[in-house]
Structures are given as C-alpha cells and as structure tokens.
Amino acid sequence: MLNDQLVSYSGVQPSGNLTIGNYLGAIKNFSLYSEKYKTFYCVVDEHAITVRQVPAELRRRTYETLALYIACGLDPEKNTLYVQSHVHEHAELAWILNCFTMFGELSRMTQFKDKSSKHSDNINAGLFTYPALMAADILLYQTDVVPVGIDQKQHVELCRDIAERFNQIHPDTFTVPDPIINKSGMKIMSLADPTKKMSKSDENTNAVVYILDDKDTIIRKFKRAVTDSDTCVSFAEGKDGINNLMTIYSCFTGKTMEEIEKEFEGHGYGDFKLAVGEACAAALAPVQQKYKEILADKSYLEAQMKKGAEEASYYARRTLGKVQKKLGFVKL
C-alpha cells in the first residue's frame, strides 16, 4: 500500500518482439487495475541484459515496449509507466535483497535452469540472482498485487519469502505481494510445439504470434499450427494444440469452451483455425493502429519515460531510504 492505496506492479522485458502470450497473460490485464489501484508498469531493461543483447536493438525495443503499453490501453495519466534503468534504486535494493536471498532458493528457480541450459556459454551471476532484482522491483513500491503469467509465479513467491524474511528481522518494512494469475491466458503455448510456452525468444517465428504481426501473417501462422489427428473441436486431455487454440479464441472473443465447441460442431480444424486467426487479427488491429501513431512520436515517448521515472523515483527513494536506515547505513 502507498498512501492508503492498493498497489499493482508488473514488468516486461524488452528482450524480443512481444507475443500474444505477453498480451493475454499479462499486458491486457494490467489496465484492470488502473482505476482502483496505484499502478506501476515497468520496462525491465536491466533484467534483459542477463542474456546478451544487441545494444541498438535493446534501445529500440525499450521505446517499442513502452509504446505497446500505451497502445494496449495503459493511459500514462492513470498509470506510472517507466524504464527500470531510469530509477537507480532498483539496482541498489537488489544488492541488499541479494543478502536476504538464499543460494538454495535461487538454485531451484525453473527459469534459471531453463535459461542456463539455453545459454550454456553465458551462465552469468545476473541470470542466477535475477529474482532478487525482480523482488526489488516489486518491493520498492509496497506492492499488493503482481499480475503475471504462470511462468512468473515462482519468482513472485520467492519475492514473498524474501519480504517476509526481511520483515521478520526488520518489522514493518515491506508489503508482502500476491501474484495475480488470469486463469484463461496464463500460459499460451507455442503453435509449433503446444507442450512448450510461447516465447518471444523462440527462434522459430512460426511458433509465435507477435502482437504486431499483420493479418495475413497471423492467419498463416494459425493455419499451420500443430494439432492432432482428431477432427472435432473439443477441449480434452491430450489435445494440447486444439486446447491452446481454443484458449486463444476464448481470450479474444470472451466465449466459453462450451460455446466454442457448439459454434464449431460439424466443422473441421481448418475452419476453426481460420476463425482463431481472424479473431486474433481483429482484436489486435486497434492496438497496432495506436502503436504506430505513438511510436512515430519519439519526443512524446521520451516525455512519458521522464514523467514515469520521476513518479517512480519518488516512491522508490522513500522505500530504499527506510530500508537503509533499518540496516544501519549512515545517512549524511
């Protein structure tokens, strides 16, 4: 809580083109909190460098991610939108929280295990201590809820453990946050391998639908989506591909699984895939249109970055100051 107001906080890495997984699992839900909560949504560029980035691309994607936040309905007047590296308190609190995070806890993180096997030539310490920086992001703003996809649940739970450990030694320091996971879009799967999460870093671009893909590309990708040898559109165990397409269709249209099954009774997979593609393209069209307009105005985006960083810094400074005092650091 900040000034008696509940706080919602989340972040997205500018480490690739954003996917409909990022949209349905996270960004689309961020605006649900804009009215009743104090909201902070961050472009986490410091997290992105745990994997090597091309500097010019990281810079470009930082602008693009902020533009997408706004295009997806986050009004900068109602939400604090900012870039992580513009608020130095994140890195400072992350160091402190590193000293309250156990080696064993970090070793159990599935994202660390996945990423270290994918990037075996660069298993750096930042990749390992990544959750302490994420905890710093969340705890700096006395966050109550963290809307994320299911893959980030483990990190938010570790953040809770870190906050509780710190509070036990230094009472009343941090609000202990809850992860909020939207049931329907919490894990959108790859179109090429529906047992795997859809990921912006997937090398097979046909496996992934990007928020900015044009209509023809979206329809082509859904047409090629891996399904099964059955022909009936129904949600059932073992039908990972169709289950995933039904989930995506449901998220974009608001229809339940039963309604979808009824709608496609007597139709084959081909008709269904086309409908999923069309629903997805139709829902993304206004986002894409708004995105183009916003991205074209770099000075507007920079003004928003600056405003967001100033707002965030105010609260971040307050929490960091409190933590430093509790730890016994000398204040000059």
Judged by the rule CB under 6 A, the positions of this chain that interact with ligand TYM are 9-13, 21-22, 25-26, 44, 47, 134, 137-138, 146, 148-149, 151-152, 155, 185-188, 197-198
Give least dist CB 19 to ligand TYM, A: 6
Closest to ligand TYM by CB, 113 vs 325, is: 113
Q: Smaller CB distance to ligand TYM: residue 242 or 264?
A: 242
State the minimum distance, in angstroms, from the CB of residue 8 to ligand TYM: 10
Please name which of 39, 311, 320, 315 lies closest in space to residue 173, comparing C-alpha atoms. 320
- Catalytic residue (one of 28, 38, 115, 273): 115
The residue (of 243 and 264) whose beta carbon lies closer to ligand TYM is: 243
Closest distance of CB 137 from ligand TYM, Å? 4
User: How far apart are CB 240 and ligand TYM at their closest, in Å?
Assistant: 13
Choose between 28 and 264: whose C-beta lies nearer to ligand TYM.
Answer: 28
Place of tokens 């179109």: 191
State which residue has the least CB distance to ligand TYM. 25
Q: Given 36, 118, 187, 200, which residue is catalytic?
A: 200
Query: Does residue 331 carry a catalytic annotation?
Result: no
Residue located via tokens 């046909």: 206
Locus of tokens 């990544």: 130
Per the annotation, the verdict on 197 as an active-site residue is yes
One of 38, 113, 118, 197 is an active-site residue; which one? 197
Dihedrals phi, psi of 20, to nearest 5 degrees:
-70, -15
d(CA 320, CA 90): 9
Do 153 and 89 contact (CB within 8 A), yes or no? no
Nearer to ligand TYM, 39 or 173 (CB): 39
Question: How far apart are alpha carbons 137 and 88 in whole angstroms?
Answer: 11
User: Rounded to whole angstroms, how far apart are CA atoms 263 and 244?
Assistant: 17
Question: Is there a catalytic annotation at residue 221?
Answer: no
* Alpha carbon 237 to its chain's center: 27
Which helix H or strand E contains 85, and what residues bound it? none
In the bound complex, what is the minimum distance in angstroms from residue 185's beta carbon to ligand TYM? 6
Nearest-CA neighbor of 81 among 274, 294, 330? 294
* Catalytically active residues, by annotation: 115, 197, 200
